[in-house]
Amino acid sequence: MNALSEREHVDFLVLGGGVAGLTFALEAASHGSVLVLTKRQRSEGSTQYAQGGVASVLGPDDDFDLHIQDTLVAGAGLCRREAVEVTVREGPDRIRWLMSLGVELDREAPDRLHLTREGGHSRRRVAHAKDTTGREIERALLAACDARGIRIEEDHLAVDLVTSGKAGIGGPSRVLGAYVLHRDTGVVSTISAGATILATGGSGKVYLYTSNPDVATGDGVAMAYRAGATVANMEFFQFHPTCLFHPQAKSFLISEALRGEGGILRNAAGEAFMVRYDPRKELAPRDVVARSIDAEMKKRGDDCAFLDMTHLPKSFLLEHFPHIYATCKEFGIDMAAQPIPVVPAAHYQCGGVVTDLVGRTSIPRLYAIGEVSCTGLHGANRLASNSLLEGLVFGRRAALRAADELSEGSGPPPHIPDWNPGAALAPEEGVVVAHNWDELRRVMWNYVGIVRTQKRLERARTRISMLRNEIRDYYWQYNLTPDLVELRNLADVGMLIVECARQRKESRGLHYILDYPKSDDRWLRDTLITRGDLE
Ligand code: FAD
Ligand code: SIN
């Protein structure tokens, strides 16, 4: 049954129930009515799968300047310093807030958290709950929402934002709400809102191999782009160096924390190869490690690399990484006795919908928080474990700002026209959708992956442009299905990545292009895209 009426109005419409959306909801709930929508089960999203933890200044040998510096170095000159400052400085309070909600983080003494280390961090500063930190955070945030009576409706997929222009209202554009498809009934509801918050997460599913769950189809970026919001830096897609390489393992991450605790990367001949690529070896930033693995595999013609933990006691591995240990075991790999086969995979979208320091996008009444946003924190490459932190910090900041905006008054809810299904027919060619989806992801993997060339980008652009035309025709002919909505979004996101990558004529951070292998200070700026730039 569809839990939404065909028309509803709320003060805060939150699209997404991960760390960013739920933080927003909890902070906004005392200021107005909140509706959180999730497109599948309510806990399903990247947050739930986060392993390593949350980075913050919590150790006796650490300070804000060091965390700021590490973030800026990883970001390769493109971080926005103010965004880094607020995130780092508000971090410890956010961790205390999580603990006040009942999040159980590992401790090394009753009054001291256990902190792990990850690549690019000059100190141990990653707070964690064993190797399932995200699951613990998501659990506690959902429980807190339930305790406060916050309404969360699952299986509801936002299809498009409604702008004042689309509703026939004159004056400067603003966002009035969203059209929402119910997964089971196919009914499209019209939800108007005082503020609409994109907390839809990332877009790893645009690539063939990814650590991301199925919901990561870039819906928020695509909807915001179509509504006219500014999008930036989509060329900076982070590839995690180590996902499990096994034919039956779908998207299983092998946390960077394993390297933080001494894991060694080896090639198929058993050689520890990172020393040949970077003096920081296994703990170099992710872009460096992922490229090194890619180069080593290509040089030798290997299918994968190996992460060796066998020099560490089994009891230590079981104590710190019980989930990874058990999952590898399910696939017949005993990580205490044999190296784990690993490959890089698409992991994190560093660019996204451009926001200010309180989550506002370039369109009034539209906010973006979490992975969908581009706050300036990550620049050209995200420092490990800074993204859960970003969701916590910006979720709160956006909620406070949206509450202020609500109290300033927005007048009576405007009338939004009902969804117009046109002459839509029942979809009969599911196979077309599946085929296009597969082709898009392969094109992105083969032509817009870890190492790029101008020629491959041009090839990708031509293919994706054809796919977008096909999808557009199909979209307006047939009734909406979740697969079709997601395919349309993925194609838009793919094109945004290609277009940003084509524009940047240098290599920086996560964008590595053989035609321009060096950084060039003339490109020390964001790659900005707004509606119309892709057509
Ligand atoms: P998500 O948690 O991805 O939630 C997105 C939500 O949006 C979901 O509820 C989804 O249903 C909903 N949604 C999407 N589209 C729609 C739509 N059209 N309509 C309605 N709802 C929609 N980061 C760290 O800092 N530390 C880590 O240790 C870490 N480990 C990671 C491990 C893995 C395997 C992965 C995949 C990521 C990891 N990350 C880590 C990154 C981090 O988990 C994510 O960046 C972060 O959780 C994103 O949170 P979010 O709230 O923005 O989105
Ligand atoms: C990991 O545990 O390696 C993931 C950490 C992150 O993506 O920040």
Share of the chain above pLDDT 70, in %: 98
Mean pLDDT of 144-157: 98
Q: What is the pLDDT of residue 429?
A: 66
Q: Which of 169, 178, 249 is nearest to 209 (CA)?
A: 249
Q: What is the pLDDT of residue 132?
A: 97
Q: Which of 286, 291, 382, 456 is catalytic?
A: 286
Ligand having the closest approach to the CA of 126 = 1
How sure is the predictor about 325, in pLDDT bands with cuts at 50, 70 and 90? very high
**Nearest protein CA to atom 12 of ligand 1, as residue:** 16
Whether 118 shows a pLDDT value over 80: the answer reads yes
What is the CB < 6 Å shell around ligand 2? 51-52, 255-257, 384-385, 387
Neighbours of 323 (CB within 10 A): 14
Whether 107 shows a pLDDT value over 70: the answer reads yes
Question: Which residue shows structure tokens 């590992």?
Answer: 106
Taking the centre of ligand 1 as the mean of its atom positions, its distance from the CA of residue 267, in whole angstroms, is 31
Mean pLDDT of 122-150: 97
Whether 410 shows a pLDDT value over 70: the answer reads no
Taking the centre of ligand 1 as the mean of its atom positions, its distance from the CA of residue 221, in whole angstroms, is 14
Taking the centre of ligand 2 as the mean of its atom positions, its distance from the CA of residue 268, in whole angstroms, is 24
User: What sign results for the dihedral spanned by CA atoms 19, 85, 239, 224?
Assistant: positive
How sure is the predictor about 474, in pLDDT bands with cuts at 50, 70 and 90? confident
Mean pLDDT of 142-151: 98
Q: What is the pLDDT of residue 415?
A: 86
Q: What is the pLDDT of residue 480?
A: 87
Decide: helix, strand or coil at residue 77.
coil
List alpha helices for 50-181, DSSP H.
Answer: 64-74, 81-100, 133-147
Whether 222 shows a pLDDT value over 90: the answer reads yes
Ligand having the closest approach to the CA of 118 = 2
Determine contact, residues 192/162, Cβ cutoff 8 Å: yes
Measured CA to CA in angstroms, residue 158 lies from 305, 369, 524 at distances of: 39, 16, 35
Spatial separation of the C-alpha atoms in residues 326 and 166, rounded to whole Å: 51
- Residue 373's identity, in one-letter code, is S
How sure is the predictor about 251, in pLDDT bands with cuts at 50, 70 and 90? confident
Measured CA to CA in angstroms, residue 500 lies from 77, 206, 503, 511 at distances of: 17, 15, 5, 10
Select from 14, 47, 98 the residue to mutate for testing ligand 1; criterion: most ligand atoms less than 8 Å from CB: 47
Whether 76 shows a pLDDT value over 90: the answer reads yes
Measured CA to CA in angstroms, residue 252 lies from 211, 265, 527 at distances of: 6, 17, 31
Higher pLDDT, 474 or 64: 64
The finding on whether 392 has its CB within 6 A of some atom of ligand 1 is no
Whether 32 shows a pLDDT value over 80: the answer reads yes
Spatial separation of the C-alpha atoms in residues 446 and 437, rounded to whole Å: 14
Share of the chain above pLDDT 90, in %: 87
What average pLDDT does the structure give for the chain?
95
Mean pLDDT of 67-93: 97
Question: Which residue shows structure tokens 């804000």?
Answer: 64
**Nearest protein CA to atom 21 of ligand 1, as residue:** 38
What is the pTM assigned to this prediction?
Answer: 0.97
The finding on whether 134 has its CB within 6 A of some atom of ligand 1 is yes
Q: What is the pLDDT of residue 428?
A: 66
Among 88-97, 185-194, 322-331, 414-423, which stretch is predicted with the lowest mean pLDDT?
A: 414-423
Q: What is the pLDDT of residue 412?
A: 77
Kindly state the helix (H) or strand (E) to which residue 435 belongs, with its residue range: helix 430-447
Q: What is the pLDDT of residue 532?
A: 74
Residues 6+ apart with CB under 8 A from 318: 325
Question: Per-residue pLDDT tens for 332-345?
Answer: 999 999 999 999 99
Question: Which residue shows structure tokens 């179509």?
Answer: 226
Higher pLDDT, 20 or 247: 20
How sure is the predictor about 468, in pLDDT bands with cuts at 50, 70 and 90? very high
Taking the centre of ligand 1 as the mean of its atom positions, its distance from the CA of residue 304, in whole angstroms, is 26
Determine contact, residues 287/509, Cβ cutoff 8 Å: yes
Q: What is the pLDDT of residue 278?
A: 95
Q: What is the pLDDT of residue 211?
A: 96
**Nearest protein CA to atom 1 of ligand 2, as residue:** 255
Mean pLDDT of 210-239: 97
Which atom of ligand 2 lies nearest, measured to the CA of 242? 3
Determine contact, residues 483/212, Cβ cutoff 8 Å: no
Residue 286 annotated in active site: yes
Whether 239 shows a pLDDT value over 80: the answer reads yes
Question: Per-residue pLDDT tens for 416-447?
Answer: 998 887 767 776 667 778 889 999 999 999 99
**Nearest protein CA to atom 33 of ligand 1, as residue:** 50
Q: What is the pLDDT of residue 420?
A: 82
Q: Which of 204, 203, 207 is nearest to 448 (CA)?
A: 207
Ligand having the closest approach to the CA of 345 = 1
Which atom of ligand 2 lies nearest, measured to the CA of 385? 8
Whether 73 shows a pLDDT value over 90: the answer reads yes
Select from 70, 203, 388 the residue to mutate for testing ligand 1; criterion: most ligand atoms less than 8 Å from CB: 388
Taking the centre of ligand 1 as the mean of its atom positions, its distance from the CA of residue 351, in whole angstroms, is 14
Ligand having the closest approach to the CA of 388 = 1
Spatial separation of the C-alpha atoms in residues 153 and 16, rounded to whole Å: 10
Mean pLDDT of 260-267: 96
Mean pLDDT of 126-137: 97
Helix and strand element counts for the chain (H, E): 14, 20
- Residue 11's identity, in one-letter code, is D
The finding on whether 20 has its CB within 6 A of some atom of ligand 1 is yes
Question: Per-residue pLDDT tens for 166-214?
Answer: 889 988 899 999 999 999 999 999 999 999 999 999 999 999 999 999 9
